[in-house]
Amino acid sequence: MSDSYAPTHGIKPAATIGIRPNFETPLKGAIEAADDTSIIAAPGAGKRIVVQYLKTRCPSSNSGENTVTVKWGSTGIEENTLAAGEGIAFSFESGYEWVLPANTALVLTTSSAEKVEWSVRYWIERVA
CATH number of the domain that residue 104 is part of? 2.60.120
The predicted-structure confidence for 66-106, as pLDDT tens digits, reads as follows: 999 999 999 999 999 999 999 999 999 888 999 999 999 99
Q: For residue 63, tell me if it sits in a domain.
A: yes
Alpha-carbon torsion (83, 56, 87, 101), positive or negative: positive
Beta bridge partners of 55: 89, 119
Residue 35 lies in a domain: yes
Q: Looking at residue 21, what is its pLDDT?
A: 62
Give the sign of the dihedral formed by CA 68, CA 120, CA 97, CA 99: positive
**Cβ neighbours of residue 12 closer than 8 Å, sequence gap 6 or more:** 3, 5, 6, 99
- Answer yes or no: is 20 within a domain: no
Domain count, the chain: 1
* Residue 93, domain member (yes or no): yes
Averaged over 24-51, what is the pLDDT? 93
96 assigned to some structural domain: yes
Q: Which amino acid is at 46?
A: G
Is 12 a member of any domain? no
For residue 104, give the nearest of 68, 57, 50, 66 by alpha carbon. Answer: 50
8 domain residue, yes or no: no
Q: If pLDDT is split at 50, 70 and 90, which confidence band does 128 have? A: confident
Look at residue 7 and tell me if it is in a domain: no
pLDDT confidence of residue 25: 81
